[in-house]
Amino acid sequence: MPELRKDPVAGRWVIVASERAKRPMDFRAAATSPRGGPCAFCEGQEAGTPGEIVAIRQGGSPPNTRGWSARVVPNKFPALMVEGDLERRGSGLYDLMNGVGAHEVIIEGPQHFTNITELSVGAIRNVLWLYRERLADLKRDRRFVYGLIFKNQGAAAGASMEHSHSQIIVTPIVPLLVQDELRGSQRFFEYRDRCIFCDMVEQEIRTGERLVIDDPNFVVLEPFASRFAFETWILPRRHLVRFEELSDAALGDLAQILRATLRRLERALDNPPYNMVLHSTPFDMGNVPYYHWHFEIIPRITGVAGFEWGSGFYINAVPPESAAQFLREVRES
């Protein structure tokens, strides 16, 4: 059983694997799937994954057979284990609990393909529908407080399988960056009685200088204090606390905006590796007036990060205003 351990000074939680390493070198090379497929995520290879949790099947074919368009399965190498109690406990100065949680993979399409933008808007909508479905289901488990949905695009961004997929990790703790955002946005609300995300959306639409796409329902922008070149956020225009409350119609609109955003990044940066992370309100919080779900997309174009890992201090060589201008001018297709 992996452990969730808390750094006693900085307060961050880390999943620490329990398996003892054989030799240090065993950790040097990340296993990656063969290029070009077919792979365990392809249609016809259903036996290569753990049994499916849910799938979108038009023809009513049985689980774990052909005939699906998107499919959710448990991660074969899960970071957290779904069975067991948390058993929160101390160890001298330190705090820890069992590494209980869920770790699932959303396989975004049946043919071997490497990029979600190869899908139609309708197929991307199915993927977003599965995000919502899994969050809504997993939040019923009272051990869990957060559903972290993310997508690693390209080996350089940490993807070990090239077949296009997303992941969800459901945890008994809230990720540090979401905690920071909750604290900051709550402080703003106490002072101003307004949601800081709503204010930001309003200001960005008004000034336009960091805006990439302005849509009736969603806003795509380069944040004022972008940590990374071409860091891009997608936010709903109206106050919406959590992703899983999106309506069916809004999922369709979001699919279109997400595809358009990723296409622009691909065109501008020549198919960059990237990480996409969903920030949303924890399961056990009510309809807070101060927080607003959003996607953060981080292209991994500047090669490697340096000392930022050890300091939390960022240097960004591309002003977000320049990045936004490039992305506005680039053609989507």
Least distance in angstroms from the C-beta of 73 to its own copies: 19
Sole window of 17-25, 60-68, 126-134, 254-262 interacting with its own copies (rule: CB under 8 A): 17-25
In angstroms, what CA-CA distances link 219 with 79, 210, 235, 297? 33, 11, 5, 13
**Closer residue to its own copies in complex, CB, 62/310:** 310
Least distance in angstroms from the C-beta of 74 to its own copies: 16
From the list 325, 318, 320, the residue with the least C-alpha distance to 302 is: 318
**Closer residue to its own copies in complex, CB, 10/249:** 10
Q: x-or-dash pattern for its own copies, window 296-315, by CB under 8 A?
A: x-x-xxxxxxxx-xxxxxxx
Q: Tell me: does residue 323 bind its own copies (CB under 8 A).
A: yes
From the list 60, 78, 54, the residue with the least C-alpha distance to 130 is: 54
Q: Hey, which residues between 39 and 68 contact its own copies (CB under 8 A)?
A: none
SS3 249: helix
| Tokens matching residue 178 | 């979401």
In angstroms, what CA-CA distances link 162 with 165, 252, 262? 8, 25, 17
Sole window of 59-67, 120-128, 197-205, 248-256 interacting with its own copies (rule: CB under 8 A): 197-205
Q: Tell me: does residue 88 bind its own copies (CB under 8 A).
A: no
Spatial neighbors of 45 by CB under 8 A, at least 6 apart, are 38, 39
Least distance in angstroms from the C-beta of 126 to its own copies: 22
Sole window of 20-28, 48-56, 119-127, 253-261 interacting with its own copies (rule: CB under 8 A): 20-28
CB-CB contact of 78 with 152 (8 Å) = no
Q: Tell me: does residue 86 bind its own copies (CB under 8 A).
A: no
Cβ-based burial of 32 (10 A; exposed 0-12, middle 13-18, buried ≥19): exposed
Least distance in angstroms from the C-beta of 285 to its own copies: 16
Q: Hey, which residues between 202 and 231 contact its own copies (CB under 8 A)?
A: 203, 207, 223-230
Active site residue 112: no
Q: x-or-dash pattern for its own copies, window 122-161, by CB under 8 A?
A: --------------------------x-xxx--xxxxx--
Q: Tell me: does residue 275 bind its own copies (CB under 8 A).
A: yes
**Closer residue to its own copies in complex, CB, 57/263:** 263
Cβ-based burial of 186 (10 A; exposed 0-12, middle 13-18, buried ≥19): middle
Least distance in angstroms from the C-beta of 146 to its own copies: 9
Sole window of 12-20, 43-51, 54-62, 251-259 interacting with its own copies (rule: CB under 8 A): 12-20
Write down the catalytic residue from 103, 112, 163, 165: 165
From the list 317, 323, 296, the residue with the least C-alpha distance to 305 is: 317
Count of residues interacting with its own copies (CB under 8 A): 98
Phi, psi of 51 (to 5 degrees): -55, 140
Least distance in angstroms from the C-beta of 186 to its own copies: 10
From the list 266, 259, 206, 252, the residue with the least C-alpha distance to 234 is: 259
Cβ-based burial of 263 (10 A; exposed 0-12, middle 13-18, buried ≥19): middle
Active site residues: 165
